A and B are shown apart, each in its own frame.
Chain A
Amino acid sequence: MRTDVQISICGSAGEGTIAAGDILRNALAAAGYRIISFDAYPAEIRGFGKCVARLRATTEQVYSLKEKSDVLVCLNDEHGIPHVGDVRDFGAVIYEAKSITRLTEGAHVSAHVRPGQVPYPLALRELSERATGALRSRNLVALGYLAGLYSLAPEPFLRIIEKKFKGKGAVAEANRKAFEAGRVVGTQTFKLDMVAFGPPTAGLQSVMLSGNAAVVDGCLDAGIDNFFGYPITPATTIMERLATEMPKRGKRLVQTEDEISAIAATVGAGYTGARAATATSGPGLALMSEMLGLGVMAEVPSVVFVSQRGGPSTGIPTKTEQSDLNMALYGSPGDAPRIVIAPTNVEGCYRCAGKAFEMAERYQTPVVVLLDLYLSNRYETVVMPAKPPFEPNCDKPLPKQDLGNGYRRFALTSDGVSPRALPGTAGGMHVVTGLEHNEFGRVNEQPENHEAMSKKRHEKLLAALQHPDFTHYKRFGDEGRVEIGLLAWGSTFGECLAAMFRARTEGMRCAAMKVVMLQPFPAAAVAEFIDQCDVVLVPELNYQGQFASLVQAQTGRLVHRYDRVCGGPMVVDEILAEMLRRVAAGRQKAA
C-alpha cells in the first residue's frame, strides 16, 4: 500500500508548533518515509504570531506539498480555525476539547469542522498537565496521539525526542511522558477518517535536510576552504551551520562587516586557489554586483549562494519569491558573464553547491547559485551518495615551461581558460586587474584586445553547458508532441511537476522541463522542447516574467507567462487551472 499523508500543525509562536513538526518529520523519516516539509512562521522573534508546521510523508518520490492536508492538529483555536478548510474530505481535525458554553460563538475549532471532515476532540491540556504537571507539553501529547491513532511505531519518535532534548535532563523525560500519554489515548480512539499509513520503504537510508543545510553539506563535501558572510534572511542559516562545521575540519569562516566585504574576501581567497564562498539574499547581491564584475574581469573563482526573498528593496524578507534572476544574470557593470545555476529541490541544493565550486575553478569565474526562501527553508529526505560526487581540484594544469618572465596569465587558449599561477608559485608573478588587460595582465585598451578578451570571457563559459555529472535541464512527462509544456526553474518546478502529473491523469498530453543551468543557457535543448509543445507555459514567482523573458531572448520563441507574487509557493491547482485554460483556448482555435 502506498502512503501519502500530509499533516499540518497550527499554533502560536511559543506553543512548540515548529518543534512538534520537527520531531514528527524526523520520526517519520527515521521510520522510512520520504518527507517534504515547509513551515511558516512570523517574522517577529517573540510574539503571538501564527506558526504552521506542514509535512507530507510518502512512500514514493514527491515534488511538492499538497493543497489539502489529510490531518490538521490545532494547538490553538484562533490560529487553527482558518486552516480547517484546508483539510480534505474524510481527513482528520484534531483539537483541544473544550466546553463550548464558555466560548463565544465560532471561537472553537469544532464549530468550523465541515461535514465529511472527521473531528477528534482531545483533552490536550488535561493530558499534558497530568503527564508533566505543565501545559507546555501539549505539542508532544498531540504527537503521541497521532502515533497512536495511526498505529505508528513509537520508537522513532522516542529516539528523536531523546536526541532533540539531549543534555536537557528532565525535559526529555517530561516530553517522553507527554508523548506516551497522548499515544495511549490515540490507540484507544476509534478511527473514523480515511487517512492511513502503509508500511514505509524498507531500508531507505535517507537524511532530513533543509535546502540551506543541503547547501552546507555540498560545500563541505566539495572541500570549501573559506567562507565570508554577512547575516541576511533567508540565507543566514547557511553561514550559521558552516560556522559550526568548518572549524571542525580546520577551515576558516569570517563574518564580515557587510556584503561588499564578504564577496571581496571571497574573491581574495579564490585568487589564492582556495575554494571560497559567500551567501546572501537579493539586497546583499545588489551590494556584491561590482565585485562580481571584478571576479569576471580578473577571472577569479568564487561561489555566491543567493536565497531570494520578496522584493524590491527590503521587500518581504520572510516570504518567498524568484525575482532576483535578472540581477543574478546581469547585475554588474559592463559585459560581465558569470555562471548562474538554480536547483529545484533539496537534493539539487546539495549537488549544485558542490558543482558550483567545480565550475568556478574550471572556468575561472564567479558562480551564482540561486535559491529562494521556500527552497532554503523546506525540508526533504535526501538519499545521500556514498561518497562526495565532486572533484577536489578542477584547476587547468599549468605547464612548468609556461612560467618565467613571459608568463601569460590570460593567455588566449582554444577553450578560453588560461592556466593560472597561484601566489607563491616561482616564476608566476603577475598582476590581475579590473582594467582591461592583455594576455600578460598588463593594462591594454586597444580595440582588438578588448574584443579578443571579451570573447574569451564569454566563450570560455560555454563549456559549462557540458559540465560533467550535472543535470543542466531535464524533461518529464509525455514524450514527443504535447498539447502543453511547462517550463520552470528553481523551487517552482516541484509544483509544476505535480500539476503536470495531475493534468496527465485528466487526459492531457503534457510535459514539464526544468532548467537548472540558467547561464550559459541551454538554448538548443529548450528550443527543441518548445517546438514540441502546442503551448508553453512558464510559471514563476515574480511579476516581470524574468525567466520567460530569458527563454524568449535565448530561443527566439514565444512562451506564455504565468507570474505570481503571492509570497508563498505556487499553488498546484492554480497551475492546473491555467493549463486547462490554455489548452482549451488552443483546442478552440484549432476547431
Chain B
Amino acid sequence: MMGAVRVRRAIVALVAVAVLYGIAAQIGRGRLPDRIWMGAHYVDNVKLLPTWQQLAEEGAYLVESEILLDSVVVSTRRVAIGLVLGSVAGILLGLLTGWASRIESLADPWVTFFRFAPALALLPLYVVWFGYGETSKVLLIATNVAVITLLGAHQGVRGVPRVYLDAAASLGAGRWLRFRKIVLPAAFPSIFGSVRIAVGLAWVTIVVAELIDARMPSLGYLLALSGTYPRVPTMLIALATVGALVLVFDLLALLLHARATRWMGRTA
C-alpha cells in the first residue's frame, strides 16, 4: 500500500518539475536576452531556456544523426574500462592493506597522499605522461576509482569484529579460510558502498577530462561544443544524458550491492 503512495507522489513531483520548466520556458521565450556577451564577442539567438518542443526537435536531430549514440558509447566505454581496472586494483590493494597490518603501515602515507590529492589534478600530469587520448582518460578514472575502493575495502576488512576471527581460529580455521569465509563476506557491504561512490566520481571525472580535451565524439565534447556556439538545447540534452547514465550506473551498482549482501537477509 505504502509503495503505491510513494510511486504516485514521485510521479506527481517529477511531472510538476517538468510542467514548471515548460511554463518557465514559455514565459522566458522572448523575455530572456537572446544576445549574449561571450567574453570576446556577442552571440545571437541564444535560447537560455528552450521550450520542450525545441528540446524534442534537437533531441530528435541528435538521435537521428547518431551523434548522441556515438558520444554515449565512447564515454561509457571509458568509464566502464576505468571502473573495472580501478576497482580490481583498489579492492585487491585494500584487502591486502587491511589484512596484513605490516603492509598497512608501509602503504599508509601513499594512500593518504592519493586520498587528498584532488582527483582531477592528476589530469595534466597524465596528459604529459600518456598523451592525449584514451590512455590518460581511462587511467585517470582508474586512479580515482582505485583510491576510493581501496579505502572501502580496507575499512571493510578492518571493521570485521575480532570475535568472528577468534571464534573461527579456535574452531581450527586457517588464515586463508578465515579470509575467504569471514573477512571477505563481512567486508562486502563496505566494498560495494565504495564502488557506488566511485561510480559517481568516475562520471564526474570523465566529463571534465573530456571537456578539457574535447576532440573525439564524447559527451564532454558535446557539452564543450554546444558551449562554444552556445546551442543550449544540445547542451541540456547532453547534461540530461550524462545524468541518465549516472543514474543507470548507480542502479547497477546498487543491484550489485544488493546481490553481494543478500546473505545478510535484508534489503540493501
A and B: bona fide binding partners: no
Q: Name B's A-contacting residues (CB within 8 A).
A: none
